[in-house]
Structures are given as C-alpha cells and as structure tokens.
Amino acid sequence: QASQAQTEIAKESFDSQRRVLFEEVVRIYFGVALAQESLAIRQQEVKGLEHHLNNATKLEEHGQIAKVERLSVAAALDRAVVAQERAERELGIAQLTLGKLLMQSAELRPQDALFINETIPSEDEFSGRTLGNSPVLRELKARDSEAGALLKVQKGRFHPEVFVFADYEVYKDDTIAFELIPDWQVGIGLKFTLVDNIGRSKSIEAAHKTKQAVAELSQGAERALDLAARVAHRQAEQAISEYHGLNSSVELANENLRLREIAFNQGLSTSVDLVDAQLFLSVVHAEQSVAAYKFVASLGRLLALTGEMDSFTDYQRLGNRRIVGSGVTQ
C-alpha cells in the first residue's frame, strides 16, 4: 500500500511540474509577443514624429511657425528614438529568456499575437475545476494513504509473530537413539516482544502526527488553490475590462491626432499640442497591449490550475487577436 502511494505521489508531482512549466511558457512566450508589440508601437511613434518634423521644417521655411515649434517636435522625436532603442533592448532580453527556457540559441520571434476573449467561464466554475482536478490535493491524498500504511506497520510491531515449521528425517543412523526420533514432525511457533529499545509507542505516535499533518496540509492547500483560482479569474476579468475600456480612448486619440495635425499645418495649433496627441495615441496603444498580456497570463494560470492546458488554443482561436503595433483587434 505504501509503495502504491509512493507511485501515485511521483505521478502527481510530475503533473504539478508540467502545469508549472506550461504557465511559465505562456508567460514568457507572450512576454516576447508583448515586447514585439511595444517595439512596433514605438516605431510607429517615431515614424509619426518624423512626419510631423518634416511638416514643421517646411512650415518654418515658409515663415508660418517659429523655430521653437520645430525644435519642440525635434526634441520629441529624439526622445521617441531613445524609447524605441529601449524597446529593442527589452525585446532582445525577452527573446533571450524564451530561448533559455526552450534551450534554443537562435533569436525567437513568436508567431502568435496577444489576444483577448470577450468572456470566460465563471469564477466558481474555475474554482470547482481547480479543486476537482488538483495534483497537489491528489498527492496529499496519496501521502495520507502512505502514512496510513506506515501506521499499520508500526502497529504491527505490537502483534505477535506466528510461524509454522516442519522437519523430516531423510537419513538415520542404525542406532537406537535415531530409531527413537520420529521420521517427521510439525509445529507452530509464537514470538511476542514484551520489552524492546526501539520505541514502538513513539513510532506509532509519530505516524499519527504524520497523518494529522497531511490532513492539515490538505485543508490549507484547498484554501490556497481556491484563492489562487479566484484571484487569477478576477485578474483576467479586470484585464478584459481594462482592454475594452480603452477602446474609446484609442478612438479619441486617433481623432485628436488627426485634428491636431490639420490645425498645426494651418498654424492654428502649437507643436506641443501635436506632440501630446501623438504620444497619447502611443500610450493608449501600449496600455491595451499590457491589458491583453495580463489577460493571457491570467488565462494561462487558470488553465494550469484546472489542468485544462490543451484548451488554451481554443480560447486563442475564439479570442480577438491584436494586430501588432496597430492597437486594434480582429
């Protein structure tokens, strides 16, 4: 019984490690996707500011704006280039981390974009699935079975040892003494230890404490798993809310940039307003990217907790996929 329990413990430990690795792969793999999208947003920002600077230079040459207006756009462009270089380095670090995890030396570029689902199953449903399919709880149950088997072993030391024996004389000397010995004999033996120095009572007490400790660990693990599932679910729901809540900001940022550019070219707006509009668009795009990443990471944790890792691609297929760098979904 103890041996079977140890086999079950090893099996559940393997399943636990598999789930941990899945969650880690999702987090790091889509972390690279986030870094790629962040770089694309920065590149788009630089491209937009280069366009604005080109227009500002022409307007200055025609005396329509002051030199300070052009310099303001140029300074913003320089800062954007620095931010783009930082995004490139961060992408390199993310790729290096992914390569280390997958034991690959080549530069890795995920083909999967970040995505967002409109809805996910309820919090109670994920919590129930987690508790009903947890390798941690199954491992603790196996450890309880192992402790029970060991307790039986310790109690067995108080039981008497009963044994049977038999004897058969194959050869006898031709003597009177050997003639008196029967050809065969059988018997039953009993051995009982009254006093020993191995502390049988203490061994039983230790086995009882082991079972009690496993029971307490099981209760604590149930509470921790339930909490982990509920927290991950709420984080996923919050990410969905944040993502969709930024849709209006993206629309506003695009329209604001369009109007500011027209006004600047007509001498009705300052370069500061134009640069702020361009940067605001980059900010809301970046915030949506982060919200999508938070959702994917939380979803990966939820599916790892429930053991439903194979369904990740279903969520991915049904979700809204972000078009890298554009800040929109399809």
Residue 32: half-sphere exposure toward Cβ, Cα within 13 Å: 21
Per DSSP, the residues of 151-185 read HHHHHHTTSPEEEEEEEE-S---SSHHHHHS-SEE
165: left (phi over 0), alpha (psi -120 to 50) or beta: beta
Place of tokens 């194959």: 170
- pLDDT tens digits, 3-45: 888 888 888 889 999 999 999 999 999 999 999 999 999 999 9
Q: Which residues pair with 165 in a beta bridge?
A: 187
Query: Is the alpha carbon torsion for 222, 238, 288, 312 positive or negative?
Result: positive
| Residues 6 or more apart in contact with residue 210 via CB below 8 angstroms | 147, 150, 151
Instruction: Check whether 202 has a pLDDT greater than 80.
Output: no
**What is the mean pLDDT of the segment spanning 61-70?**
88
- Given this model, what pLDDT does residue 201 score? 66
Biggest distance spanned by C-alpha atoms of the chain:
143
Per DSSP, 283 falls in state H
- Average pLDDT for residues 255-273, to the nearest whole number? 88
Question: Is residue 299 within 8 Å of 27, Cβ to Cβ?
Answer: no
Residue 324 has pLDDT above 60, yes or no: no
- Quick one: pLDDT at residue 244? 93
Nearest alpha-carbon partner for 72 in 60, 84, 88, 90 = 60
Compute CA distances 156 → 39, 145, 193, 203, whole Å.
Answer: 69, 17, 12, 11
Distance CA 202, CA 198 (A): 9
Kindly report the three-state secondary structure assignment for every residue of 200-212: HHHHHHHHHHHHH
pLDDT band at 286 (very low <50, low <70, confident <90, very high): very high
Q: Which residues pair with 329 in a beta bridge?
A: 322
Identity of the residue numbered 9? I
